Structure 1
Amino acid sequence: MGNVASIYEYGSVQAVKRNLAAGSVVVTWNTGGQQYTLTDDGAGNLTGDGSGTISYSKGLIFINPNPAPAPSDGDYTIEYEDWQGTNKVSDSISLNTSAGADSSYAPSAAMREGSVEITLSVTRKTKEWRYLASSGKADRTEYTTEQVVVTDDGAGNLRRQKGGPILGTVNYATGAISLNGRQSYTYKVYQEDSRLNGGTFWDSGTDTATEAYSGTSATIEWTDPADPVAVQSTTRPIPGLTIDLTPTSSRNIVPNSVIFEINGTEYRDQDGAIVKDWSPITDTGTAVGSIDYSNGLVTLEDYPANTPTSTPVTLIACLTTLDQAPANRSIFRTAGAPLREGSLIVNATDIEGNQVTLTADTSGNLTGANIKSGFVDTQTGLVVIEWGDGTLGTMPPVVPSTVRYSAVSYTYLPLDADLVGLDATRLPSDGRVPQFNLGDVVVVSNTQSTQIQTATAGQVVDFGRVNQAEVWVEGANGNRLAPAQYTLDTDAGTLAFADPLSLVDAEANAVTEPLTVYNRVEDMGLATDVQIGGQISLNIPLSQDYTAGDTIASAAVLYGDLRARAYNAFHQKSWSGTWSDDLIGDSTTAKYNLVSNPIEVTNQGAIKERWAIRFTSSTSFEVIGESVGVVATGNISTDLAPTNAATGAPYFTIRSAGWGSGWVSGNTLRFNTDGGQAPFWVARTIVAGRATEQEDQFASQNRGDAD
C-alpha cells in the first residue's frame, strides 16, 4: 500500500528515581562501534545526538536517540547530579473539586527549581458500551482510578509530563501554587448498531472527557534550595522500538493482516506477535516483538541498529475495520471426531488485542480468561463458547477470524485378524465392545479409609456403614497390623483394637503410626441389562449406597468346583527333557509306591504344572517343573516338600517311605499336578502415546466358598 507509519519513541523512559540537578544530565550509548551523547540544557531538554526531555523532580529521562541503538548494543550510561533529600519537605494540598476550578496553596517557603512534586488521584472512563434503545439495556461504563504526579519544569510551570499542557504555576520564592491537575483524555466506545437485514453489530470508536479528582486532597513534596548535591552514574538497558502503524486512524487492526518494512527487513503479525524472516512453507518466523490491534502500536525487541529516528516505516499491508462485528458466542465443529478427552485447546484474540487461551478438561468443560462458559462434545466435536458475560462488561468479545483450535481426534483402522488373533469382521468400527455381558456375575465394591493418628487399646473405629467384606489396618511403613490385634463386628460396622494392643504384623514386624483402617463393602449379582454407554442392571438390589467416583464394578470369572490333585504318574528309564504325558521309551526297574504313599497336595500350595523327579545318583535327585524349572534337590531317605514361594506351602509332598531300591542316574518319576484355582491369562494393552505414569499396577482376587 505504500503508506508510512511513524517511529515515535525509541528511548522510552529511563528512570533514575532521584531529584536531578538541572543541567547535570549526560546520556551516552554505543552503536556501530561509535559513542553518541545527549546533554541536559538546564531547561529540561536533552540535545545532541537526538532529543529528549527531563523531569528533574521525578528523576525521569525521556530520550529519542539518533541514531538509535538496539538492545543488543548494551546499556545507556547516565551521569547526573542529584539532590540528597536531606532538606525535603512534605505537605498536603486541599483540592477544589468543582469542574475547571483551580486549587491554591501558599506555604510561604522557598522551593528549589525542578523539585516540586504533587501526587493526586484522578478518575477516568476506560470503556463505554452504548446499546440500541430497542435492546432495553442500559449503557454501561467502566472507570479506572489512577495516581498521577504533577511536577514543575524548572521555569515555574506545573505539568503532568514534559512538554504536556501547563496545569498550574509555582512561585519558587514563596512556594505559592495555583493548580488544576485534571486533563482531557480519550476513551474507547463500543456502539451497538442495526444491520439492514436484521440483527446488530458493534462499532468501535473513541470519545473524549475530562478527568475528575477521586479525592479532596493531594500530597506535595519539594526540596529546600540549600539541599546538598552529589554526582551519580548509572546504566539502563536499551528498550525496544515502538512504532505507531495507524497514527491518523482510530480503527482497529484486523489480526494477521499487517506487513511492514524497516531498512529492507520485512515484518508481519501472527496472532499478536511480530515476526521476521517469515517462511511461506512453514508459516512461521522469528518472533521479535508484539502488536496491540486496538491502537496500532508495535513494540520491537529486535530491529536494525544504528537507525536514525527519521527512518520511515513502509507499511506494505494493514487492514483496519470500522465495524469489527465482534463475537460474543462461537459455535463450530472440529474437523475430526471423536476427540480425545482433555485435548482441545482454543485460541483467540479479543477486540483489544489480548490473547485468549481456553483448555478443555476430561468432562468437556472449557476454562480460561474472557469466557463465560464453554463446552465440547468429544463424541461429535461440537464446540460452544460464550465469550463475554452477556452484557459486554469486563469481558471484551473476540474477533471471530482469530478463533483457532487444536485437538487430538481418533481414527479407527480395520484390525488385522492375524495380528489380534480373532476375526474382527463383526467388531464395530470404533472397536468398542461391551465389557460386561448379560448373565455375567458382577461385583460392585467400594473401599474407604479412616486414619488413626494414635491408636489406643480398646479404641473403637466406626466405619459409618455395615456388612464389610474385608477390613485391614496398614501402618505408615506399609506393614499390615496382625488380625489378632483387633476385633471386627461387621453387623455393626465397627473395629475394636485389642487390649492390650501391640502394633506388630503377623510376623511380629513393627507397624508404625499413623494407622490407616481400610474397609470394603460389596454386592454380587447377575447382570440383567448391559448398555454400551456403561449402564448395568443387576438382578438384586444393592444392600447399601455406594459413593460415586470411587466405586468399582468388576466382572467375576466362574470356574465351578476346584481342588488340587496329583495325577498321571509314571516311571521313565531316561528322560531327555521332553514334556510328554505318556511314557517315552522303557520304564524303570525301581518304582515309587504310589498306593501306600500317594503324592500329597494342598489347595494352598499346588499349582498346575508337569513335574519330573530325575535321579542324579542311586539315592539323590532333583525336582524339575516345566514352568518353574529346578525348585529343589533331595534324596530317598528324606521326605520331599519343595516350597511354593508365593504361598509358603509345599507344591507337593513325597514321603521317603515310598521310594524303593534299584534307582540309577537318569531314572525319572513323572507326574502332573493341578492347583486349587484355575489358571488364567492376563492380557495387558497399552495405547500408543507418551507415558503419563511412572508406576502401574493391577490386582486380581480369588473368591470362593469352601464346602
Structure 2
Amino acid sequence: MGNVAYAYNFASAQVKRNLSPGSVVITWSTGGHQYTLTDDGAGNLTGAGTGTVSYSNGLIFINPNPAPSPSDGDYTIEYEDWQGQTKLTDQFTLNTGPGTDTTFSPATAMREGSVEIRLNVQRITKQWRYKDGSGKADRTEYTSEAITITDDGGGNLRREKGGAVLGTVNYATGAITLDARQSYTFKTYEERPRYFNGTGTYWENDSDTAVETYAASTASISWTDPGDPVQIRSTTRPIPGLTIDLTPTSSRNIVPNSVLFEINGTQYRDQDGAIIKNWSPITDTGTAVGSIDYATGLVTLEDYPANTPTNTPVTLLACLTTLDQAPANRSIFRTAGAPLREGSLIVNATDIEGNQITLNADTNGNLTGGNIVSGFVDTQTGLVTIEWADEQNANSVPVVPSTVRYSAVSYTFLPLDADLVGLDATRLPSDGRVPQFNLGDVVVVSNTQSQEVVTATPGQVVTFGRQNQAEVWVEGANGNRLAADQYILDTEAGTLTFADPLSLVDSEANAVTEPLQVYNRVEDMGLATDVQIGGQISLNIPLSQDYTAGDTIASAAVLYGDLRARAFNAFHQKAWGGTWSDDLIGDSTTAKYNLVSYPIEVTNQGAIKERWAINFTSSTSFQVIGETVGVVATGNVSADLAPTNAATGAPYFTIRKEGWGSGWVSGNTLRFNTDGGQAPFWVARTIVAGRAVEETDQFATQNRGDAD
C-alpha cells in the first residue's frame, strides 16, 4: 500500500510556569551518542530533530532524530522559567463581525511567551440536507469548543505552535490584534431522489466548509510582568513511545484487525486495539508492543529499535478504512432465530436528531412506536421490514443504521424423552410449552417492598406509604427474623410500631442484628377472565391499589377447597418389624389404647401427611417413629404425648396419658395415620440448558388458607 511517514512526539506538561524564550535545551543519548535540541526563541526546537515550545504554559513538543527507545533512559530538559507569584488578567469584548479583527490595549508591558487568551468558538458538526420539494428544513448539529491562543515569543498569536498566525501582540504596550476564527470542514448528509424509478429517496455522505463563529462575546487574557524574576532549572522525563500516523491524509475510521505494517523488516499488526509483533498464525498471538486508536489512525509503539532515524519509512501493507454511515430511511433484516414468539420483538434505534426510538411488535406482527411510516415482522421467518421516514410523513426522521438493535424470543423444538421428563410427553403440546395461566384460573397479584431501619428504637413507627398489607416481617442483617411480638402492625393505616420495651430477638431468642429490613407485601386475588398470548391477563376484580412495574409478581394459585387435619386407621400390632402397612400384620396386642374416650388429637397447624408408629421399648416407655420423619420423640404412659413439628411449632398430634391401658410389653406398637390441613402437590421445575452462572439457586412456594 506504500510508505507512511511517522512522527515521534513528546509533550511535557511538567513546566506549568512561563518559560523564557531561547532558554530550552533538551539532550538525550542513544546508540552511544548524545544529541541536542535547542530553543530558537521563536517557539521552535532545532538540532537533532525538530520540536516546538509553548512558552506561556510550559508545554514542550519534540520530534528527535534519531529517535531513542524507552530503554535508552530519560530526556534531560534545561530551561528558565518565571518565578513571579501572580499573573495579570483581564477580559475584552470580541468583534463578531465576519472577517473583522478584535483589538485590545491594556497599556501594560507583557513578557515574551507569557500571553494566553481563552475563548469559545462554535462549529457545525453535521448537517442533514433534505431533497428540494420535501417541505422539510435542513437540520444542523452544532458544537462549542474552548480554545487557547498563545504567543510564540516573537509577537505572533497562534492556537498551536507552527499553526496559522491569528494575530499579533506588542510586548511593550500590550496591544493585541486578533481574529481567532478559522475555517473547518464538517460532514453533510444529503437526501436525494432515486432516479431509476422516480420514487423514494436515499442519503449520500458529503462534506462542506465554513468559518467558525464566536460562541461567547468575551475572551479572557493573562500575562506576566517582564520585571518578574526568573530562574534556571533542570529536569528529566522518560522517553515515550513512537507515534505513527497511518492515515495522515484521511479522516476515515480504521476497521479493527485490518492493519499490517513494517518497519526495518519487522512486521506489526493490530489485534483488538493492541499492536503486536512476532505474530504466530498457529496460536493467533504475538508480543504486545503498543496500541492503536482506530478513530485517529495513530499507532503508539513502546518497543522498537533504538537510534531509529525519523525518516525511516513505514511500509503500510494493509489497512481497511470505513466511511461514516449515512442515515437510513428503511431497514430490512432477519432475526438470528425463527419462528419468533408473537409480540416478543423489540427494536431500538437512534434517529439523526439523537432521539431514542423503541418499537414493539403486537401479536399480529405490526411494529408501533415513534413516528415511523410502517413496520412488520413475519414471526414464522423472522424477517423484519421497517420504513423509518418518507417525504409524505413530515414527523418521520431517518435513523443511524449502526444503532438499530433488536431483541426477541425464538422457539426451538426438541423431542421430549418421557423418562427424562418424568411424565408422558404425548399429552404435551408439540413444542413442549404448557401455559401457566388459563381462563378461569385464580391469579394472585403481589408486590413486596422493603425499608431499611438503621437503628430501631422502642415505639418507633415505620410508615409503608400504602395500606392493607397481606404480610409484614422484619429481617436483621444476619438473616434472622424479628419475633412477631416485638412490633404491632396496623394494616388499615399501613404502619408498623416497634414494641416498647424492644428486644431485637427472633422467635427462638436468637439475636437479630441491625440494620433491619422491614418488608411489606400487598396483594389482590381474582379470577382470570381473559389471557392473551402476549402476556396480558384480565381479572374479574379491580386492583385495590397501584402496583409498581418491574417488581410486581403474578402467581397462579392451585385451589383444593376445604381441607382439615385428621388422624385415622389406628390399630394395634403385637410385634412390629418396621414394615409400613395400613393393615394389621400378625397378631394384635392384649393392651389397647382407648381411642373412643381419648381420641388422637390433631390441628391444622401441626399435622402432616404421615404414617406413625408408637413402638414400646418397655412396659411403660415408647418411641415415636414417622415413616418419612423418623424418630421424633420418646415418651411414657404416665405423660401426655405431643411431639413438636419444628416447621410450625405446633405438635404433630396429641395422645392423652389417660388413654393407655395396662399390659404393654416391649415390641407392642400403636399404628395410625394422619393427614395435614394442606394438600400435597408436585413441583416440576425446568431450567434452560447451558452452563451454570450462579453458585446457588432457589425458588419458593406458599401455602395459603382461610379459617372460619
**One fold, TM greater than 0.5?**
yes
- Over 3 Å counting, the alpha-carbon distance change for 1:31 and 1:675 in structure 2 is farther
1:571 to 566, 570, 573: 573
Q: In structure 2, what is the equivalent of residue 90 of structure 1?
A: 89
Q: In structure 2, what is the equivalent of residue 555 of structure 1?
A: 557
Residue 298, structure 1, aligned to residue 298, structure 2? yes
1:700 to 697, 702, 708: 702
- Over 3 Å counting, the alpha-carbon distance change for 1:21 and 1:639 in structure 2 is same
Distance 2:203 2:562 in 1: 74
Aligned residue type for 2:298: V
Aligned residue type for 2:482: N
Distance 2:17 2:645 in 1: 84
Distance 1:86 1:502 in 2: 66
Unaligned stretches of 5+ residues in structure 1: 365-370
CA offset at residue 417 of structure 1? 0.5
Aligned residue type for 1:433: V
Q: In structure 2, what is the equivalent of residue 3 of structure 1?
A: 2
Aligned residue type for 1:419: L
- Over 3 Å counting, the alpha-carbon distance change for 1:675 and 1:68 in structure 2 is same
Deviations 1:535-583 (A, max 9, x none): 5566x5558577474363432231555441232312223x332222333
Deviations 1:331-354 (A, max 9, x none): 42222247899x999999999xx9
Deviations 1:242-278 (A, max 9, x none): 444444456x457358434131454556788877677
Q: In structure 2, what is the equivalent of residue 367 of structure 1?
A: none
Aligned residue type for 1:631: V
CA offset at residue 139 of structure 1? 3.4
Distance 1:36 1:92 in 2: 43
Q: In structure 1, what is the equivalent of residue 420 of structure 2?
A: 419
Aligned residue type for 1:701: N
- Over 3 Å counting, the alpha-carbon distance change for 1:378 and 1:239 in structure 2 is farther
Aligned residue type for 2:297: L
CA offset at residue 81 of structure 1? 1.6
Distance 2:102 2:303 in 1: 46
Residue 630, structure 1, aligned to residue 646, structure 2? no
> TM-score scaled by structure 1?
0.76
* 1:128-167 matched pairs, under 5 angstroms: 128-167=127-166
2:419 partner SS: helix
Distance 1:350 1:486 in 2: 52
1:193–1:200 CA contact under 8 A, matched in 2 = yes
Distance 2:186 2:177 in 1: 28
- Over 3 Å counting, the alpha-carbon distance change for 1:671 and 1:184 in structure 2 is closer
Which stretch shifts more, 315-324 or 641-650? Answer: 315-324
Aligned residue type for 1:59: G
1:434–1:532 CA contact under 8 A, matched in 2 = no
CA offset at residue 622 of structure 1? 1.4
CA offset at residue 20 of structure 1? 0.8
* 1:191-206 matched pairs, under 5 angstroms: 191-197=190-196, 199-206=200-207
1:133 partner SS: coil
Which stretch shifts more, 261-270 or 284-293? Answer: 284-293
Distance 1:680 1:303 in 2: 69
1:273–1:291 CA contact under 8 A, matched in 2 = no
Q: In structure 1, what is the equivalent of residue 366 of structure 2?
A: none
- Over 3 Å counting, the alpha-carbon distance change for 1:240 and 1:547 in structure 2 is same
- Over 3 Å counting, the alpha-carbon distance change for 1:582 and 1:106 in structure 2 is closer
CA offset at residue 52 of structure 1? 0.7
Which stretch shifts more, 30-39 or 655-664? Answer: 30-39
Identical pairs, percent: 60
CA offset at residue 700 of structure 1? 1.6
- Over 3 Å counting, the alpha-carbon distance change for 1:72 and 1:597 in structure 2 is farther
Unaligned stretches of 5+ residues in structure 2: 364-369
CA offset at residue 206 of structure 1? 4.0
Residue 479, structure 1, aligned to residue 482, structure 2? yes
CA offset at residue 23 of structure 1? 2.9
2:471–2:522 CA contact under 8 A, matched in 1 = no
2:4–2:245 CA contact under 8 A, matched in 1 = yes
1:127–1:142 CA contact under 8 A, matched in 2 = yes
Distance 1:542 1:345 in 2: 29
Q: In structure 1, what is the equivalent of residue 116 of structure 2?
A: 117
Distance 2:351 2:446 in 1: 48
2:349–2:399 CA contact under 8 A, matched in 1 = no
Aligned residue type for 1:297: G
Residue 48, structure 1, aligned to residue 47, structure 2? yes
- Over 3 Å counting, the alpha-carbon distance change for 1:476 and 1:146 in structure 2 is same
Deviations 1:440-499 (A, max 9, x none): 5x1445467798999999x9999988xx6x7555557643655996788xxxx568999x
2:187 partner SS: strand
1:134 partner SS: coil
Distance 2:5 2:677 in 1: 89
The number of residue pairs the alignment matches comes to 678
1:21 partner SS: coil
2:28–2:74 CA contact under 8 A, matched in 1 = yes
Residue 16, structure 1, aligned to residue 15, structure 2? yes
Q: In structure 2, what is the equivalent of residue 289 of structure 1?
A: 291
- Over 3 Å counting, the alpha-carbon distance change for 1:566 and 1:63 in structure 2 is same
Aligned residue type for 1:136: G
Distance 1:644 1:87 in 2: 83
